[in-house]
Amino acid sequence: MTDLIPLEKIKKKLTNQNYFLKYGKVTQVVGLIIKVEGLNVFIGEVCQIEILKSNRQVMAEVVGFVNKTVLLMPLDELDGIGPGCLVKPTGSALEIEINDNLLGQTLDGLGRVLTNNEEISGEKYSVNRESPDPFKRRRIETVMSTGVKAIDGILTVGEGQRLGIFAGSGVGKSTLLGMIARYCEADVIVIGLIGERGREVTEFIENDLGPEGYKKSIIVCATSDQPPLVRLKGAFVATAIAEYYRDQGKKVILMMDSVTRFAMAQREIGLATGEPPTSKGYTPSVFTMLPKLLERSGMSETGSITAFYTVLVEGDDMNEPIADAVRGILDGHVILSRKIAGENHYPAIDIQQSLSRLMKSIVPNEQYKKAGLLKENLAAYAEAKDLIDIGAYKIGTNPKVDQAIQLNEEIKSFLKQNVDEPSTYTETVESLNRVFM
């Protein structure tokens, strides 16, 4: 006798499975927010808004809910969206396709290739991923040579370290990033240009990065005129691409210019969805989002992401909210000084205010002592500078100041470096030793 068909199981399966696609309708657009009725979606899901008049689709992401009204924010321009436009859910969050042919290419903030018309067909990677398990991260033990003497000698960076570059506008952040990208010892470089001027993209590729640097780089570009959600996603797309190569066991460098623009984009989104402004108008979600982005880089079980994040400080205030929050998360900071740049000293790194938290554990003790001596001499000279400049200081008054005056030119010469003059880590250590011979 054959078994009876389990009707209850079939009924349950039919009830739980959808055999139709449910569309929503646009009811209201207020500022950056598109309000939609009739959707059953989740936070972060990507939807398509159908614009029948122009026969095009606008991508948008679910950013919140008010009762049964879904709040969307566009990933494209809002032009053409009107009441009654149909909204189709995709059932997934934003994903990008990555393969090894991306090297030497420029992508937009959503991971679409801008430099050619070829479609990238590769492994699908979610843009929003978890940071590596802290118990599975390998220790940072190896020096990552950047080719910049002031960093390699005095603020040595380890492979897998995360460093912030803090400066006001026009002090040389992009130029310093270009030097590191061109001369660093890495397999792959991923550069996220977030919220920057449109003209600076080509300039950075041609002038700062150069043909050699571009060959092993992938650039993710979300310019300042893009919607805030695209600028936000651009940072996560760049990080996801770096994670793809790290998971292959490669030595990756991730550069982001700048984290401040990322925070500003999140502030715009937060204010549009009704979050209360707090410190300097930044919403609480900004300070939640920063560690989610910054903690994804670093060491993993298989590879490493050495990250350089630039922070544009408003009014050269190094203690403004974003600078303060980022400095507390990262493994070190490089401060660029407008005063030093005004003395025609490049890179304009303020050595006394800068710090690499891992330097002591990755460099020989002799180099660490020499770096400390250099800082001490800079501090002694700075303290007596006013007296020296007006000729009121007499040699022999203070032995420490005497030594600082004697070594000042050699120290300056060591810290100065032209953009087209790379220095290997070995050459840098030898130059540092010569300063104190």
- CATH number, domain at 411? 1.20.1270.330
- Asked if residue 160 belongs to a domain, the reply is yes
| 132 and 271 inside one domain | yes
Q: Write the pLDDT tens digit of every residue in 247-268.
A: 998 999 999 988 999 999 999 9
Boundary-marking domain end, from 48, 64, 93: 93
pLDDT at 174: 83
Q: Write the pLDDT tens digit of every residue in 57-90.
A: 899 999 989 888 999 999 988 888 888 899 999 9
pLDDT at 3: 54
> How does DSSP classify residue 240?
H
Own/partner contacts of 167-171, CB < 8 Å, gap of 24 or more, are 167/310, 167/311, 167/312, 167/313, 167/335, 167/336, 167/337, 167/338, 167/348, 168/312, 168/313, 168/314, 168/315, 168/316, 168/336, 168/338, 169/312, 171/336, 171/337, 171/338, 171/341, 171/348
How far lies 367's CA from each of 28, 203, 348, 435, in Å?
63, 36, 22, 12
Strand partners, 349: 336
| 152 and 172 inside one domain | yes
Examine the pLDDT at 369 and tell me if it is beyond 90. Answer: yes
Strands 86-93 and 355-356: unpaired
Examine the pLDDT at 328 and tell me if it is beyond 60. Answer: yes
pTM attached to this predicted model: 0.89
Measured in degrees and rounded to the nearest 5, phi and psi for residue 183 equal -110, -5
pLDDT at 20: 63
Q: Write the pLDDT tens digit of every residue in 217-235.
A: 899 999 888 999 999 999 9
| 347 and 410 inside one domain | no
CB 194 within 8 A of CB 261: yes
Give which of 124, 127, 161, 159 is closest to 144, Cα–Cα: 159
| 243 and 118 inside one domain | yes
- Higher pLDDT, residue 198 or 2: 198
Q: Write the pLDDT tens digit of every residue in 15-68.
A: 666 666 788 999 999 888 999 998 989 999 999 999 877 788 899 999 989 888
- CATH number, domain at 173? 3.40.50.12240
Sequence-distant (≥ 6) Cβ neighbours of residue 20 within 8 angstroms: none
